Amino acid sequence: MQAVSDIMSLRTATKDLRNTGASLALVPTMGALHDGHLALVEQAKRRADHVAVSIFVNPTQFGEGEDLDAYPRQLARDKALLEEAGAALLWVPDVQTMYPAGFQTVISTPQAAQGLCGAKRPGHFDGVATVVCKLLNQVDPDIALFGEKDYQQLAVIKSMVRDLDMDVTIEGVPTIREADGLAMSSRNAYLSVEQRQSAVTLPNAMKVAIAEIQTGGKVDQALATLQHALEQAGFHQCDYAELRVANSLAVPDFDMLKGGTELRLLVAAHIGKTRLIDNMPLLWPTI
């Protein structure tokens, strides 16, 4: 695996990889890789001849008081994991390369970024859309893969690619979970042993809410029970627990919803200093 950190070397490397008409996939990451990222690389290998991975802890998607400085950085370990996973290219730009003096362009997808994490993290999705646009322009892949764990992020990126006629396929890959069901995340590393034990309440309570709704239970009641379970487990703040239409993230009108409509339950909640997010699919019941 070749690792490059300047644009000229990146262009040469991608040109070489594409030399014989081979296809290229990109897996954008912020590093601190876990099995969720490696599942993206595996899927990327099925989709393209070569896989490029980017590692860049993007400052513009962190708000004030968020964990930019604390975000885990472990490049040597990440490199070894990617080498073993069979990535062909690692793109590791520094902040100056990504945002040189005078940088001013911002990409905004106000509809996709409305509500959910967008409401709690102002500017976050502008930072994500802008950096992903840059990464796609820099690497110029045929396909780019993102985890469904960041479901709203995926919606933002799909909107941007559609609106800007970008010639790349965006593919979402289902969330990879720990053995007990907690969604894998680089931020799980912040959890104490006790918090880690309590954190599993998040996916468990979501499954209970989904079962309740799918068997005709009231949505408000199921979501209130979910939030109560989180409180009981030591989550001190729930940013949101909402049902949305899966493909558009629109707020559903439950009175008008057809049975079989694909929905998504999305939750963000804080335990200690860590903010965890998760989402799961469900079908609106036919009653």
Q: Which is nearer to ligand PAF, 27 or 213 (CB)?
A: 27
Q: Is 37 a catalytic residue?
A: yes
Q: Which helix (H) or strand (E) holds 161?
A: helix 151-163
- Annotated catalytic residue: which of 37, 124, 236, 270? 37
Does 30 engage in binding with ligand PAF (CB under 6 A)?
yes
Binding range to ligand PAF, per CB under 6 A, among 8-16, 28-36, 98-106, 190-198: 28-36
Looking only at residues 209 through 228 of this chain, which bind ligand PAF when binding is defined by CB under 6 A? none
Q: What is the largest CA-CA distance in the chain?
A: 59
Cβ distance to ligand PAF smaller for residue 186 or 201: 186
Six token digits for residue 215? 């068997």
Q: Report helix, strand or coil for 126.
A: helix
List % helix, strand, coil for the chain (3-state, nearest 5).
40, 20, 40
Distance (Å, whole) CA 73 – CA 76: 9
Residue 58 engages ligand PAF in binding (rule: CB under 6 A)? yes
Strands (E) located in the chain: 2-4, 24-29, 50-55, 89-91, 143-147, 169-173, 237-245, 262-271, 274-283
The residue (of 153 and 279) whose beta carbon lies closer to ligand PAF is 153
Determine the size of the site formed for ligand PAF (CB under 6 A). 10
Which amino acid is it at 46?
Answer: R
Which of these ranges, 91-99, 127-135, 209-217, 239-247, lies near ligand PAF under the rule CB under 6 A?
A: 127-135
230 touching ligand PAF, by CB under 6 A: no
Distance of CA 139 to the CA centre of its chain: 19
User: Least distance from C-beta 70 to ligand PAF, angstroms?
Assistant: 15
- Binding to ligand PAF by residue 131, rule CB under 6 A? yes
Q: What's the rounded Cα separation, in Å, for the pair 44 and 233?
A: 37
To ligand PAF, the closest distance from the beta carbon of 168 in angstroms equals 14
What does the buried/exposed string (b/e) look like for 152-162 if buried means 16 or more CB atoms within 10 Å of the residue's CB? Answer: bbbbbbbbbbe
266 sits near ligand PAF (criterion: CB under 6 A): no
Shortest distance, position 128 Cβ to ligand PAF, whole Å = 5
Q: Work out whether 278 is an interface residue with ligand PAF (CB under 6 A).
A: no
Active site residues: 37
Provide the binding-site residues for ligand PAF, judged by CB under 6 A.
28-30, 58, 61, 128, 131-132, 150, 153
